[in-house]
Structure 1
Amino acid sequence: MATIESKLVEMLTVPVEALGFKLWGIEYIQAGRHSILRVFIDHENGINIEDCAEASRQVSAVMDVEDPISTEYTLEVSSPGVDRPLFTAEQYRAYIGEETKVQLTMPVAGSRNLKGVISSVDGQMLTITVDGKDLIVALDNIRKGNVIAKF
């Protein structure tokens, strides 16, 4: 996870949890002079629009005081959804046996995009089975990972 994202997770976890939600993860996308900050929240009973609005107000207040992002940005607060992004070893571990897709910073087996089943998570190493072959990926090499929703 990038430095700014780590700082934001540290800064926003307590305020989000104070509302009764779990901070699932954060995406910070720099797009020139205007960036996007996505905050994903979760709850065992699900998340609705009022929950997102409440968390958005709380996050916005913290961001205004702490001011960790010097450029203009749009704040988006949502649930992780059915194709939930995965950010931590704990989250990948919870989805062992599930199909996922990951985008890598550095290629593994000649590819930066992998789609397969999570076989195991050992420390900061993920084993993903792609076309019957186990590939080992360092979690810090994953730029983005998502569960593939089944319908």
Structure 2
Amino acid sequence: MSTPKIRAAVEEMVTPFLEENSFELVDIEYVKEGSNWFLRVFVDKDGGIDIDDCGRISEFLSEKLDENDPIPSAYFLEVSSPGAERPLKKAADVLKAVGKDVFVTTYEPVDGLKEFEGRLLSFDNDELAIQAGKKNYIIPYSKVANARLAIIF
């Protein structure tokens, strides 16, 4: 099964449990590091997620994965918080990040740049407005390759 299909199967398995328990699915990764495969599920909730939450979700998902067996090879399951530099995968994530510091990369240059780090001022009409230093940038959402929260010192 391909990596996108594995991610989709895992998402389908875990989403009902997460929604019933007021968790939010942030991201799913299925990656090879060295000779090992890792299935990483990043979850969050209002007020943050703790180790007990991760344990409950891991236990549930582990049972579901054993029942459905969508992954043909051995792998390590990891359930964790997305961390302080949380990825902004969906438009709803970007909207929730308004007023926060972000790091955004684009598929092609916008105003001569492909990387932007600063305060997300707004997300309207499929455009991000970011204040980086003393300059504001308007970035079409369709050009965003990656976005995440940032810790700017």
- TM-score norm. by structure 1 comes to 0.74
- Indicate if the aligned counterparts of 2:103 and 2:117 stay in contact, CA closer than 8 A: yes
- Where does 1:101-120 land on structure 2 (aligned, <5 Å)? 101-104=103-106, 106-109=107-110, 110-120=112-122
2:100 maps to: 98
- Indicate if the aligned counterparts of 1:38 and 1:76 stay in contact, CA closer than 8 A: yes
Note closer, same or farther for the CA distance 1:136–1:101 as it changes in structure 2 (3 Å cut): same
1:81 maps to: 83
Identity of aligned residues (%): 29
- Indicate if the aligned counterparts of 2:85 and 2:148 stay in contact, CA closer than 8 A: yes
Residue identity opposite 1:22 in structure 2: F
1:49 maps to: 51
**Higher mean Cα deviation, 124-133 or 81-90?**
124-133
Give the secondary-structure state (helix, strand or coil) at the position aligned to 1:50: helix
Note the alpha carbon deviations across 1:99-138, whole angstroms, 9 max, x for none.
111344x233355433122232236543434441313143
- Where does 1:1-151 land on structure 2 (aligned, <5 Å)? 3-4=4-5, 5-18=7-20, 20-31=21-32, 34-104=36-106, 106-109=107-110, 110-122=112-124, 125-131=127-133, 132-138=135-141, 141-143=144-146, 145-149=147-151
Q: What is the rounded CA distance, in whole Å, between the counterparts of 1:129 and 1:14 in structure 2? A: 38
Residue identity opposite 1:133 in structure 2: N
After TM superposition, give the deviation of residue 75 of structure 1 in Å: 1.6
- Off by >4 Å, runs of 4+ in structure 1: none
Listed as ranges, the gaps of 5+ residues in structure 1 are: none
Find the structure with the greater CA-based Rg.
Answer: 2
Listed as ranges, the gaps of 5+ residues in structure 2 are: none
- Indicate if the aligned counterparts of 2:127 and 2:140 stay in contact, CA closer than 8 A: yes
Give the secondary-structure state (helix, strand or coil) at the position aligned to 2:85: coil
- Indicate if the aligned counterparts of 1:115 and 1:130 stay in contact, CA closer than 8 A: yes
